[in-house]
Structure 1
Amino acid sequence: MPTPHEEIADYLRRARAAADPRRAGLPADGRVRRVPGLRREEVALLAGVSTDYYTRLEQGRRIVPSVQVLDAIVRALDLDEAGRTHLHDLVAAVGRPRPRARTTVQRVRPGLHQLLESLHTQPAMILGRRTDVLAANRMARALFADFPRMAPRERSYARWMLLADEARDLFLDWELQARNAVEALRLDAGKTPDDPETQQLVGELSLASPEFRRWWSEHQVHQRSHGTKRLRHPVVGELAVDFETLTLPGDAEQTLYVYTAAAGSPSQQSLDLLASWAHPTSGLASGSDGPRRTTTG
């Protein structure tokens, strides 16, 4: 695994290459740009640091920038909130003692399980560290996959997206959704770079998925706060669902995802049909545990 300093250097180099010089507000100097993005001296100028200092950061030297310098670099590179969080996480890991393997199990409060199951027509899930699916209501199991029936090590949403054949078949925009999952895992990994379970998952996906290797090497991060997923469901056909997220009070490592569709839309009608099939009180229900779907991976 790369050291924290190497991770900082890699992220800065890639962020600089992706920066748009036109948005930086720099005066034209007449020089031809042979590579995309900003030059090192331009980032240094915009951030108010010396070119030598910034260059050493990109070289992975053992220096620890202050919060003020980091925020100045964030502005210079025009990073979004996910990028800012990731860069600060990487720097916070510098010099941090290597922790022992985590032994705590992520658990969802009983009241939250009740909340999920009270949503009869809205799919809902709770994700934790490493994009692990900690809980999923009947509708989410019917719409996506029966995560609770999977072996614990297989319940990572990112792992399912990359390795399960059914995920590729289910999502009309699989490449976009899978890439977002990888970038969300990248963001999470920056918070605990020495977590052995994260390292194991990254190693497994690197060996099994060429897409994961490519996207992980690009070192992009993504905060999934809201969005839309387009699906071709084997029971109800094509539909689009919007999702919103809520970080749960009392446990910042758990995030609630709720999926809805516009009232009166064909997608809402599809969700209603799926609910009639999945809900145990419906004559169309497939069983007390809802629809069961096989997974591969």
Structure 2
Amino acid sequence: MTAADELGAFLRARRARIQPTDVGLPSGSGLRRTPGLRREELAALAGISIEYCIRLEQGKESNPSGPVLDALARALRLDQEERAHLYGLANQAARRAPGVPASQHAVRPGTRQLMETVRPCPAYVLNRTNDILAANPEGIALLAGIAEWPPERRNTIRYTFLHPTARTLYPDWRKAAADSLAQLRLVQATDANAADLAALVEELDAHSEEFACMWNRYDVGRRRSGRKTFRHPQAGTFTLTSESLHLDDRSQRLTVFQADPGSLDQDALKVLSAVTSLTDLP
């Protein structure tokens, strides 16, 4: 799929989520064959021709102007991240935006030392498509069962969708899955034709019906710090706060999970750490 096709698919997906009444239009009495706004309604709201709207959605127009993008963003009620995603896709379609440098797989010794220093807090380094480039023992143990996979297949999004243990590790699995894809969509906006991204999407699309459904919703969002609950098969149920820090050229990010001091969650981390001493984690 070209960047222009991705831009069109994003516009169609967002149009389908807007009801006429959301933007002050009458719902009408006729039966709508598809959910959301009709193309002519979006065109009218954005002040563009229906023919131009069709060309955009069909991937036949790859150079929309800034004012057109602004008008579409307003009509579709895009939030800040969705608006940035729209512009990123448009830049890719017009070949105006520089690509993101290829992910660097070498993790600096200082970063590895830092992950050892924060133990027993789980920590790992991810690249832009969420491959695990390095981790401390607790970071691997936190994703129960991922150690069964060879290091080159350890990817947090692949784990979420394809590893059976992930379904029980995350009490709110659907939210965890949706959040991971929202972040991956942002990567796509910067380099829609990247081979590593295409390969991951192709694999997940082939093996997970839920992935295909969620991916086609075109949700976008940047991964932020926050609290996450785990139902770990060995350490029990606990809630941790995650902090993500971009490293060097931003092609890598370090994620560290922490528990509130003196809490039962902190005790669970000690159990998780004990598990790593009894298990061979390559």
Q: Which residue of structure 2 lines up, in the alignment, with residue 233 of structure 1? A: 232
Give the stretch that moved more between structures: 118-127 or 39-48. Answer: 39-48
User: Does 2:264 align with 1:258?
Assistant: no
- Tell me the alpha carbon deviations over residues 121-167 of structure 1, each in whole angstroms, 9 at most, x when there is no partner: 32222211211112222221221258688435412211111111222
Q: What is the match of residue 242 of structure 1?
A: 241
2:111 partner amino acid: L
How many residues in Structure 1 have an aligned counterpart in Structure 2? 278
Q: TM-score, normalised by structure 1?
A: 0.79
Q: Which residue of 1 aligns with 2:190?
A: 191
The answer to whether structure 1 residue 31 and structure 2 residue 28 are counterparts is yes
Q: Secondary structure at the match of 2:74?
A: helix
Counterpart amino acid of residue 275 in structure 1? S
Report the residue type matching 1:254 in the other structure. Q
Identify unmatched segments of 5+ residues in structure 2. Answer: none
Q: Which blocks of at least 5 consecutive residues in structure 1 are unaligned? A: 279-284
Contact 1:231 1:239 in 2 (8 A): yes
C-alpha distance in structure 2 between counterparts of 1:171 and 1:117, whole Å: 25
Pair 1:274 & 2:272 matched:
yes
Moved more, 262-271 or 157-166: 262-271
For residue 241 of structure 1, give the secondary structure of its aligned residue in structure 2.
strand
Q: Which residue of structure 2 lines up, in the alignment, with residue 90 of structure 1?
A: 89
Structure 1 position 45, deviation (Å): 4.4
TM-score normalised according to structure 2 size: 0.83
**Letter of the 1:53 counterpart:** Y
Cα shift readout 1:205-225 (whole Å, capped 9, x = no counterpart): 222122112222333223221
Query: 1:161-188 deviations in whole A, cap 9, x for unaligned?
Result: 1111222232222222123223332332
Task: After the TM superposition, list the runs of 4 or more consecutive aligned residues in structure 1 that deviate by more than 4 angstroms.
Answer: 20-23, 102-105, 145-150
Cα distance change on mapping 1:77 and 1:239 into 2, 3 Å: same
Give the superposed CA RMSD.
Answer: 3.1
Write the mapping of 1:209-224 to structure 2, written as runs, cut at 5 A: 209-224=208-223
